[in-house]
């Protein structure tokens, strides 16, 4: 699985780290497994023939030869790692992987003698590092836009060819995961999670409840976040935002660490958040929320994949707010469920957020703002009914996201009381009503609606 490429301006410094002991002596037997020149000596195993400084100079030679100004960040760096359960690959296998990755990334196409210079360094059994300098020997720059998605596609082919654990495709809608440095910083500060994770959750909760841009920004500030607005220089309107946690600072404490919405998650940019806004409705309580969720679940079950995108997004907002107002005894579990649903409900950027059930879900979200007051008034049964209704809505959403659609309604959890004693009421049928007769003979009476039973949606693959 290729990791997102970094860029830098010091080739020698990066090589010193890769061939060194590491931050915690985790680097073992660092050595070259491949390079732009197959005969290149390894600085670690043949230091009498090649030193790190010489290797850095060779890599930088095309950059230094440029007649144009030297690129500000000319060093390209990424890592490729296999699963902990996979077998240990040989240096020869890693060398083949490295050369193919350089080819698909556009840095060193096969057979291109003018391509960029690069090396592959291995200092652990399960991964390699790729380092390249972004200047071709003909004086041009490489075309590397979209390098990581292409490398992920190549990685899927290697998983099949080498019998490795299959990974999920690259999810370009996923939230940005905290980097290693962010995790280490959180540990030093005694925090339970990195600042990025805290901000993602807080911004998502504010977006789920906000009715307009001003309300959204106010909710962020009320949540204790630092907020920086970006205004259009022509119209003066707000067209972006950034958030920071109080106390999270960089550059020796001289400035806050800001995260724009787009860097937190694909759907947390201001334009995407504005798609979620819905006018304020009249106050409601949990019982009304329960009713609206059931109505929305029925509508969502009948919606198509495209039409249901807005419904699923609104349901994700509802789950987020439900987690925020849930009793403390189950809040962590509901938050985890909301996070899992958000991952499963992502849709490509070409979809629309309109949907038949969207209004009902947004109405239920507003109602949940009164949940703490309702709970203090003894609303535990209402909370239970709400959670059961959410299960039904999620099941309906699963059917909406499935690749094949059927007319079979979703399986639901029965929560209505048993009917009073008396004649049994026949159950409702899902058959299509008969058309009026068009000839001298009456139309036949319809039987049960045939068709396959809807199965579960596609499983979520592992990613790393």
- Condensed to tens digits (0 to 9), the pLDDT of residues 402-441 reads 444 444 444 443 444 444 444 444 444 444 444 444 444 4
State residue 217's pLDDT score.
Answer: 95
Average pLDDT over residues 257-263: 90
Where residue 282 falls among pLDDT bands split at 50, 70, 90?
A: very low
298 pLDDT higher than 80: no
Higher-pLDDT residue of 327, 458 = 327
Mean pLDDT is lowest, of 86-90, 163-167, 231-235, 358-362, for 358-362
- Condensed to tens digits (0 to 9), the pLDDT of residues 139-194 reads 888 888 888 888 988 998 999 899 988 876 655 555 667 777 788 888 888 888 99
Where residue 452 falls among pLDDT bands split at 50, 70, 90?
A: very low
- Count of other CB atoms within 10 angstroms of residue 316: 25
Model-wide pTM > 0.85: no
Q: 266: Cβ–Cβ under 8 A, 6 or more apart, which residues?
A: 172, 173, 174, 175, 272, 346, 349
What's the chain's average pLDDT?
A: 73
Average pLDDT over residues 203-224: 91
Long-range contacts of 270-274, Cβ-Cβ distance < 8 Å, separation of 24 or more: 270/213, 270/238, 270/239, 270/240, 270/241, 273/207, 273/210, 273/216, 274/213
State residue 77's pLDDT score.
Answer: 92
State residue 176's pLDDT score.
Answer: 67
Average pLDDT over residues 55-66: 92
């Amino acid at each position: 699985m290729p990791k997102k490429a970094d860029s830098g301006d010091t080739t020698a410094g990066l090589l010193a780290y890769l061939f060194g002991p590491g931050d915690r002596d985790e680097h073992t037997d660092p050595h070259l497994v491949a390079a732009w020149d197959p005969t290149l000596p390894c600085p670690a195993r043949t230091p009498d023939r090649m030193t790190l400084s010489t290797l850095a100079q060779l890599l930088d030679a095309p950059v230094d030869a440029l007649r144009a100004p030297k690129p500000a960040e000319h060093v390209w760096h990424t890592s490729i790692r296999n699963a902990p359960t996979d077998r240990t690959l040989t240096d020869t296998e890693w060398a083949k992987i490295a050369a193919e990755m350089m080819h698909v990334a556009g840095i060193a196409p096969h057979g291109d003698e003018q391509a960029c210079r690069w090396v592959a360094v291995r200092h652990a059994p399960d991964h390699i590092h790729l380092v390249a300098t972004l200047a071709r020997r003909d004086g041009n720059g490489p075309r590397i836009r979209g390098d990581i998605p292409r490398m992920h596609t190549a990685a899927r082919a290697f998983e099949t060819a080498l019998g490795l654990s299959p990974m999920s495709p690259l999810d370009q809608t996923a939230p940005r995961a905290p980097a290693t440095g962010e995790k280490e910083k959180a540990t030093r500060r005694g925090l339970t999670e990195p600042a990025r994770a805290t901000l993602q959750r807080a911004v998502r909760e504010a977006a789920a409840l906000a009715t307009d841009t001003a309300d959204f920004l106010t909710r962020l500030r009320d949540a204790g976040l630092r907020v920086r607005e970006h205004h259009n220089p022509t119209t003066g309107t707000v067209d972006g935002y950034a958030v920071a946690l109080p106390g999270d600072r960089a550059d020796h404490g001289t400035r806050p660490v800001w995260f724009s919405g787009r860097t937190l998650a694909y759907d947390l940019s201001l334009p995407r958040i504005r798609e979620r806004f819905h006018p304020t409705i009249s106050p409601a309580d949990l019982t009304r929320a329960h009713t609206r969720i059931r109505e929305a679940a029925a509508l969502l079950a009948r919606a198509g994949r495209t039409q249901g995108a807005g419904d699923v997004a609104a349901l994700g907002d509802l789950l987020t707010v439900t987690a925020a107002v849930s009793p403390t005894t189950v809040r962590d579990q509901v938050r985890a469920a909301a996070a899992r649903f958000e991952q499963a409900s992502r849709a490509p950027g070409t979809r629309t957020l309109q949907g038949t059930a969207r209004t009902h879900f947004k109405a239920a979200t507003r109602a949940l703002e009164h949940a703490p007051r309702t709970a203090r008034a003894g609303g535990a049964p209402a909370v239970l009914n709400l959670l059961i209704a959410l299960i039904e809505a999620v099941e309906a959403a699963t059917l909406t996201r499935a690749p094949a659609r059927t007319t079979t309604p979703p399986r639901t959890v029965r929560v209505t009381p048993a009917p009073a004693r008396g004649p049994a009421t026949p159950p409702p049928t899902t058959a299509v009503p008969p058309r009026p007769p068009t000839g001298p003979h009456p139309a036949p009476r319809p039987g049960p609606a045939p068709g396959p039973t809807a199965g579960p949606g596609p499983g979520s693959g592992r990613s790393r």
